[in-house]
Amino acid sequence: MPKTYSGSCHCGLIKFEVSADIDHLRECNCSICIRRGALNFRVPEENLTVLTPLENAVLYQWGSETAEDYFCPKCGILPFRKSSQLTKAEIEAGKAPFTGWAVNARCLSGLNISEIPIVKIDGASL
> Using CB under 5 A, which of 11, 34, 119, 124 touches Zn ion?
11
Minimum CB–partner distance for residue 11 and Zn ion (Å): 3
Q: How many CB atoms lie within 10 A of CB 46?
A: 9
CA angle in degrees (0–180, nearest 5) for 41-46-50: 80
Minimum CB–partner distance for residue 91 and Zn ion (Å): 36
Minimum CB–partner distance for residue 74 and Zn ion (Å): 5
**Strand ranges across the sheet with 68-71:** 58-60, 68-71, 80-82, 101-104, 40-43, 25-28, 118-121
> Using CB under 5 A, which of 5, 9, 22, 70 touches Zn ion?
9
Residue 92 has what DSSP assignment? Answer: H
> Using CB under 5 A, which of 51, 75, 119, 124 touches Zn ion?
75
**Which of the stretches 53-61, 69-77, 80-88, 101-109 binds Zn ion when contact is defined by CB under 5 A?**
69-77
8 Å CB contact between 14 and 57: yes
Binding site for Zn ion (CB under 5 A): 9, 11, 13, 72, 74-75
